[in-house]
Homo-oligomer: A and B are copies of this chain.
């Protein structure tokens, strides 16, 4: 049965928060949606685009009497915003978030919540290099995966409602330990962003004219270097240990391939590349969203 949240507060009305507001209303699971944020122009745009019904710059006003509070600000801003509005939260409210790092958010947010308020972290894996409410769309989540990461204190009924919410907007939901989530995402999301930011920077530094000859492979590699720096500073900082580990292991693999290119026989190099191609085929099958 689809859940129903009559009063919803979306704190941070950007791509993800705005899209959830649109999707939740389109699916009939959200009643009135209040947007909260710091930037008046964004909030006004959100009302003009009918993403939210109303807005406030004071998160306390948004969360008072809310059934559901969605934290969709950058990861390191979540605890400060909760600290600001905790007194206005009433028992029975469910708080969730959409951050790309789950251990940091759980540890920072849960201890701040008053009794009777449940926190259930979620990560809808549906971002793009676009950002901002202008890019929000009701079908952003359809067919994509969402990881929910209940903590030891998460209420079972709240977990089930958060799961049902993401399923209702079209996502395939998996439940996972926050650390396991962060380690997996360090590999398949944070590392690709590190490489994109580094590749754009390195070419700019060492051979800027080469960009004029860039084909599709360079554009694929660097596409997400267009992502919001504000969002990614927070993800990188909040998951730095797992990212550093993935980067180190990745660099060891690159060194191995570099050595094969320079010193191995063509047959050995070919076997190495064939191994990668097979891994890539398995990964494509695993990530196919309709599986």
A residues bordering B, Cβ < 8 Å?
76, 125-128, 144-145, 147, 174, 181, 183-185, 187-189, 191-227, 229-230, 232-234, 236-237, 240, 243-244, 246-258, 261-262, 266, 269-270, 272-277, 279-284, 286-287
Q: Is the CB–CB distance between B198 and A277 below 8 Å?
A: no
Q: How far is the CB of A140 from chain B (nearest CB, A)?
A: 12
Residues of chain B within 8 A (CB-CB) of A244 are 258, 261-262
Q: Is the CB–CB distance between A233 and B203 below 8 Å?
A: no
Residues of chain B within 8 A (CB-CB) of A197 are 257, 272-273, 276-277
Checking B126, B187, B262, B284 against A240 with a beta-carbon cut-off of 8 angstroms, the contacting residue is: B262
In the assembled complex, the Cα of A262 lies from the Cα of B225 at a distance in Å of 19
Q: Is the CB–CB distance between B220 and A276 below 8 Å?
A: no
Residues of chain B within 8 A (CB-CB) of A210 are 183-185, 187-188
Q: Is the CB–CB distance between A194 and B125 below 8 Å?
A: no
- Do A189 and B217 form a contact, CB below 8 Å, given A277-B225, A280-B200? yes
In the assembled complex, the Cα of A243 lies from the Cα of B45 at a distance in Å of 47
Q: Which residue of B lies closest to A256 (CB)?
A: B198
Residues of chain B within 8 A (CB-CB) of A243 are 258, 261
Residues of chain B within 8 A (CB-CB) of A144 are 215
**25 A-B pairs with C-beta separation under 8 A:** A125-B213, A183-B207, A184-B207, A184-B209, A187-B207, A188-B203, A189-B215, A191-B199, A196-B217, A197-B257, A197-B273, A198-B253, A199-B250, A200-B283, A201-B276, A206-B246, A207-B246, A211-B283, A220-B224, A225-B279, A227-B277, A229-B270, A233-B270, A243-B258, A244-B258
In the assembled complex, the Cα of A224 lies from the Cα of B215 at a distance in Å of 12
Residues of chain B within 8 A (CB-CB) of A284 are 219, 226
- Do A283 and B222 form a contact, CB below 8 Å, given A198-B250, A258-B244? yes
In the assembled complex, the Cα of A64 lies from the Cα of B183 at a distance in Å of 60
